[in-house]
Amino acid sequence: MNLRTVLNEKSIALHLKGRTKDEIIRELLEVLVKNGSVSSFEKAYQGILERERKMSTGMKHGIALPHGKTDAVKDLAACVGVSDFPIDYESLDGKPCRIFIMLLSPPAKTGPHLQFLAEVSLLFRSAAKREALLAAENPGAVLRALSE
């Protein structure tokens, strides 16, 4: 899967303002609502929270992948957010996160959802990619870092 088919400049948020896990989730959902990918903030929010209740989506290396299933999207919807501040996200490695990739998909479509998560997890094994995202000064730089 090519992440560029799902992400565009309108789905990138730099300098996130949230300081808590919940504030970050809400801020990223607003990005998806604004760009027309999500029809109902509340339904999408509940889908993310349902997944978070099972296990935190804070991974390793300062990355969190909040994701969920909801009928508030017709197709795979994703956005990327970068915070200037470390956020406690209950990560697997116990370290705070600064890179957030949100993914929502319809309940009946699991293939693209899993492909996207697999593609993202491969990308972020690279310290250079993580550093490029943290240093990105605009959405275009984020997209270039993700596609190189």
Q: Encode pLDDT of 93-130 as tens digits.
A: 999 999 999 999 999 877 777 787 777 777 778 899 89
Percentage of the chain beyond pLDDT 70 is 97
Give the whole-angstrom CA distance, residue 19 versus residue 85.
Answer: 8
CATH number of 3-147: 3.40.930.10
pLDDT in tens, 5-23: 789 999 999 999 999 999 9
Cα dist. 43→48, 49, 71, 137 in Å? 9, 10, 8, 32
* Residue that has been written with the tokens 């705070």 in this structure: 96
The contacts of residue 94 (CB under 8 Å, 6+ apart) are none
pLDDT in tens, 62-100: 999 999 999 999 999 999 999 999 999 999 999 999 999
> If pLDDT is split at 50, 70 and 90, which confidence band does 2 have?
low
Which helix (H) or strand (E) segment holds residue 105: the answer is strand 97-105
Give the whole-angstrom CA distance, residue 82 versus residue 90.
Answer: 17
CA 134 to chain centre: 14
